[in-house]
A = this chain, B = another copy of it.
């Protein structure tokens, strides 16, 4: 792995754990084990390293979504792979929140130029999930369902980071899966009796 890649990798981790603003050039350089001068040779500004991190996250998200697409045979299984992230990464989420949500919120507060590019990670999930809901037969509502699921998982991530309530996480994941199973298969099915996603 090149020095540049090590820098991006380390910055990605430190930005997630401590936030973008609170992580300094010196922190990254020390964690990588190089001098600040060497760091500067690869990245002239802090915005440049942030842009590289966002680019890395976009690429990794795309790769993960593609992997889910090939590994899971049906749309419901793929959506379940998305939901499973909350369980698999629960320790990290409880400690530092969701990497995407926390970065977007911080960049929004800083009014940073890269905030829209960071939000594009959410866009990837939204479009991919919408594709799965479309495959499940929900044509016009596919994107709305995707955003609903995305928001549901984001809210769960925020609360478990703030309250460290793992039982709540388990209930919400169960609730999301029940909601997914209960979705009408056909989009033309009238939705007269709107169901509720109350925790079991």
**Which residues of A pack against B, CB within 8 Å?**
17-19, 21-22, 95-97, 100-102, 104-106, 108-110, 118-119, 122-123, 126, 141, 144-145, 147-148, 150-156, 158-159, 161-163, 165, 168, 171-172, 175, 178-179, 182-183, 191, 193-200
Question: Assembly of this chain: how many copies?
Answer: 2
In the complex, what residues of B have CB within 8 A of residue A101's CB? 105, 158, 162
CB–CB A197/B179 < 8 A: yes
CB–CB A163/B123 < 8 A: yes
- Give min CB distance, A82 to chain B, whole Å: 14
In the complex, what residues of B have CB within 8 A of residue A97's CB? 105, 108-109
CB–CB B144/A199 < 8 A: yes
CB–CB B108/A162 < 8 A: yes
